[in-house]
Amino acid sequence: SQQGEEDPQALSIQEGENATMNCSYKTSINNLQWYRQNSGRGLVHLILIRSNEREKHSGRLRVTLDTSKKSSSLLITASRAADTASYFCATGTASKLTFGTGTRLQVTL
Partner 1 sequence: KAGVTQTPRYLIKTRGQQVTLSCSPISGHRSVSWYQQTPGQGLQFLFEYFSETQRNKGNFPGRFSGRQFSNSRSEMNVSTLELGDSALYLCASKLGQGNTEAFFGQGTRLTVV
| Residues of this chain that bind partner 1 (CB under 8 A) | 1-2, 30-31, 35, 40-45, 48, 88, 92-102
What are φ and ψ of residue 46, in 5° steps?
Answer: -105, -55
Can you give the length of the chain in residues? 109
Residue closer to partner 1 by CB (options 84, 91) is: 91
Residue closer to partner 1 by CB (options 18, 38) is: 38
Residue closer to partner 1 by CB (options 13, 67) is: 67
> What minimum distance in Å lies between the beta carbon of 93 and partner 1?
5
> What minimum distance in Å lies between the beta carbon of 18 and partner 1?
26
> What minimum distance in Å lies between the beta carbon of 14 and partner 1?
27
> What minimum distance in Å lies between the beta carbon of 26 and partner 1?
14
Residue closer to partner 1 by CB (options 82, 109) is: 82
Query: Residue 103: beta bridge partners?
Result: 87
Listing DSSP states for 25-89 in one string gives -SS--SEEEEEEE-TTS-EEEEEEEETT-SEEEETTEEEEEETTTTEEEEEE-S--GGG-EEEEE
Residues 91 and 109: their CA atoms lie apart, in Å, by 33
